[in-house]
Structure 1
Amino acid sequence: MEAETLAAAQAIDFSMWALFARATLTVKIVMLMLIAASVWSWAIIIDKLMSYRNARREARRFDQAFWSGEPLDELFDTLGPEPKGRSERVFAAGMTEWRRSHREDGALIANAQQRIDRSMDVAIQKESESLLKGLPVLATVGSTAPFIGLFGTVFGIMNAFIEIAAQQNTSLVVVAPGIAEALLATGLGLMAAIPAVIFYNKLSADADRIIGGYESFADEFSTILSRQLDA
């Protein structure tokens, strides 16, 4: 009898697709939600990795141009008031306000320094929002996916016990499929949560460093303009 039970258990298909197909509707919905969350997370992760790499590359290129000794007015004329690079947009915000602060006779309007600083702060804030966009999704997936998977597991195990009670049989043929289907939900939850948490921490740190670089540049640029104002 035991040999027949083991043979019957071995004949059951325990592939991922088979486990999903045998699962109840509620567990299937949970699994689909977790798969969608995982795909969404990886889309954000890949997008942010590429975006941050481009931002660092652009910042290095702009720093070389800014400190090359080229006159700032010429650099601004080359870039234009709406450049593509993030660092360039911070610079353009400061230079635009610098030029607007000059009267027709060449004299500066009062409180020019404060307006220039605020303009660059606003530009940095906009770039920060762009850089950080999507990271709350990773945080949400990382914190909730295990519990969503656990909900699917609990529901699946409950149905497994209902099946045991209905068949009045506790053999592997009855127990194993239901337990395997239930645990698949937990596995999918962890598969979605672990990368989301890891990359949320990494990307948050990367974003903070990039934003810190913009703030440092704004301080240095403000100092340069302050010297010209004093002169």
Structure 2
Amino acid sequence: MTSENSHGPMDRRDVLKGISASGATLLASGTVAGAQTESVGTVRFAEVGVKHEVSVIDGDLSRLALDSPPKYHVNGDELLLFGEHLTATENARVGDGAALLGFDGVRALPANGVETATENVAVTETRPDLAPRNGVLLADPYRPPGIDVTPSGGTLELRADGKSAVAGSNDEVTLSLPTRRVKTTHFEPSGTEQSGGPGEQSDSTRTYEEVTGSAEVTPVVTLRNHGELNAHRLSTRTEAE
């Protein structure tokens, strides 16, 4: 396997730049309108994400916003889990001493063969928590390579597509994977259609046609090892106020 680059110890202020400070506020107050936080204990936590560098060969790109509600928020040495956004399975994984991976939700470590769902999208930009933010539309279903994340002492080994890298506690590493060719799609105006019968007001509607092209995409995998964090779960109150 080929080893890739490590960016060295992270400055958490840089990692968290651009993320709302709401998590810290919630932890400090213990409550927020209609919700409460409970201490989970100490967990080992890491995040992994995939984005693509795109080089257009022919045609044009349709860009998409992919943002979804976050399932967790890391602030310094604190992990805030949004219980209402976690599935029952994800909530069951969370407990004192757990080893967790943030990727398309909350998974347990070790995580082998981790894959995102097959979609007609290639992610091109990720949020600070490495979840998808923007992407481009593809003509055919696409799935990035599977990812393995394996703990070993205080380190985590990242493996994908025959390459590997090791992240120590508070480290971030990346793997640039082999480039692959994909078919892209976008829509262009093709004319107008008139509606309305004789003697009626006529309305025109612009019509579009799908146009395919091609591009090369290079998957880039990032693993961020936060080490041990104090975990808290935010949940909606069920008791009467």
The interval holding the TM-score normalised by the smaller chain is under 0.3
Give the TM-score normalised by the residue count of structure 1: 0.26
More strand by share: 2
More helix by share: 1
Give the TM-score normalised by the residue count of structure 2: 0.25
Larger CA Rg, structure 1 vs 2: 1
